[in-house]
Structure 1
């Protein structure tokens, strides 16, 4: 799943996932990573999450001698 699509999924799913999650939003600023998410709780605390991705290497591994 592409990071942008995963961020969209998290923004929709996380607030519905539990009573302690108040909001989830995409995190962007000039010095922020390109794929970030800030999750806010009902207590006022926040967690910033960076989402990374990598290509699948299984095809390379199965074709090597």
Structure 2
């Protein structure tokens, strides 16, 4: 699957997720071929990029049979943190039981570079790094990959 197909699939799934009001296509011009702007019920927004990698072997990825329960999206202050967003979005993607997605995971183990990874059933992978965040009523940062500690 290419970035545009992953974008379409993720937009359809995420737009139906609880606490998500919309997931629409987003592009920043020449730097990123595709991405999604996700709006949450709190008014917070998250821009994610989408890149893909083809399968490295002839074997398709093993599908995870069950979706994790939806974790709590908001912290005690009503804010979303990047690790919470990763876990939540991965769980929403898995709960759709889309035949194209074998598994979804957050990759915040790399500090400062949060996002969601997908293992696709065709053996390929998709990477959804967080590019911008904005709390309700705020503008996103001017520089890409500027992610707030809470939004």
Return the TM-score normalized by structure 2: 0.35
- Runs of 4+ aligned residues of structure 1 deviating over 4 Å after TM superposition are none
Q: Is residue 47 from structure 1 mapped to residue 42 from structure 2 by the alignment?
A: no
Computed over aligned residues only, the root mean square deviation of the Cα atoms, in angstroms, reads 1.6
**Where does structure 2 lack aligned partners over 5 or more consecutive residues?**
59-151
Gap change, CA 1:36 and 1:8, over 3 Å in 2:
same
Deviates more, 1:20-29 or 1:9-18: 9-18
Q: Equivalents in 2 of 1:56, 1:11: separation in Å?
A: 22
Aligned to 2:15: 15
User: How far apart are the structure 2 equivalents of 1:29 and 1:50?
Assistant: 10
List runs of 5+ in structure 1 lacking aligned partners: 60-65
How much has 1:11 moved relative to structure 2?
1.5
The structure that is helix-richer by fraction is 1
* Structure 2 match to 1:29: 28
Q: TM-score, normalised by structure 1?
A: 0.74
Larger CA Rg, structure 1 vs 2: 1
